[in-house]
Structure 1
Amino acid sequence: MSDLTVGFDLDMTLIDSRPGIHAAYTALAAETGTFIDADLAVTRLGPPLEEELRHWFPQEHVAEMGDRYRALYPAYAIEPTPAMPGAHAAIEAVQGLGGKAIVVTAKHAPNARLHLDHIGLRPDVLVGWLWAEAKAEALREHGASVYVGDHVGDVRGARKAGALSVAVPTGPCDAEELAAAGADVVLPDLTALPAWLTEYAATRA
Structure 2
Amino acid sequence: MSSMSSSSFASAATPAASATPAASVHPLTVGFDLDMTLIDSRPGIKAAFEELSAVTSTFVDADLAISRLGPPLEQELAHWFPKERIDEVGDLYRELYPEYAIAPSPAMSGAREAVAAVQAAGGRAVVVTAKHEPNAKLHLNHLGIEADAVVGWLWAEAKAEALREYGASVYVGDHTGDVRGARTAGALSVAVATGPCGAEELRTAGADVVLDDLTAFPAWLARHLEG
Shared fold (TM-score, shorter chain, > 0.5): yes
**Structure-1-length-normalised TM-score:** 0.98
The SS at the match of 2:150 is strand
Give the partner amino acid of 2:50.
T
Q: Deviations over 1:90-130 (max 9, x none)?
A: 00000000000000000000000000000000010100000
Q: What is the match of residue 162 of structure 1?
A: 186
Quote how far apart the aligned CAs of 1:156 are.
Answer: 0.1
| Equivalent of residue 139 in structure 1, options 160, 163, 173 | 163
| Equivalent of residue 150 in structure 2, options 126, 132, 157 | 126
Instruction: Tell me how far apart the structure 2 counterparts of residues 13 and 169 of structure 1 sit (CA, whole Å).
Output: 9
- Counting matched residue pairs gives 203
Instruction: Tell me how far apart the structure 1 counterparts of residues 103 and 45 of structure 2 sit (CA, whole Å).
Output: 11
The SS at the match of 2:48 is helix
Give the partner amino acid of 1:79.
A
Q: Deviations over 1:27-57 (max 9, x none)?
A: 0000010000000000000000000000000
Q: What is the match of residue 40 of structure 2?
A: 16
Q: What is the match of residue 95 of structure 1?
A: 119
The answer to whether the aligner puts 1:25 opposite 2:49 as a matched pair is yes
The answer to whether the aligner puts 1:59 opposite 2:119 as a matched pair is no
1:166-181 equivalences in 2 (<5 Å): 166-181=190-205
Instruction: Tell me how far apart the structure 2 counterparts of residues 97 and 201 of structure 1 sit (CA, whole Å).
Output: 9
Identity of aligned residues (%): 72
Instruction: Tell me how far apart the structure 2 counterparts of residues 132 and 30 of structure 1 sit (CA, whole Å).
Output: 31
Quote how far apart the aligned CAs of 1:202 are.
Answer: 1.2
The SS at the match of 1:43 is helix
Greater radius of gyration (CA): 2
The SS at the match of 1:167 is strand
Instruction: Tell me how far apart the structure 1 counterparts of residues 224 and 88 of structure 2 sit (CA, whole Å).
Output: 45
Give the partner amino acid of 1:89.
E
- Structure 2 stretches lacking a partner, 5+ long: 2-25
Q: Deviations over 1:45-97 (max 9, x none)?
A: 00000000000000000111000000000000000000000000000000000
Instruction: Tell me how far apart the structure 2 counterparts of residues 132 and 88 of structure 1 sit (CA, whole Å).
Output: 24
**Structure-2-length-normalised TM-score:** 0.89
- Structure 1 stretches lacking a partner, 5+ long: none
Instruction: Tell me how far apart the structure 1 counterparts of residues 200 and 27 of structure 2 sit (CA, whole Å).
Output: 31
Q: Please, what is the CA RMSD of the aligned residues?
A: 0.7
Instruction: Tell me how far apart the structure 1 counterparts of residues 158 and 135 of structure 2 sit (CA, whole Å).
Output: 19
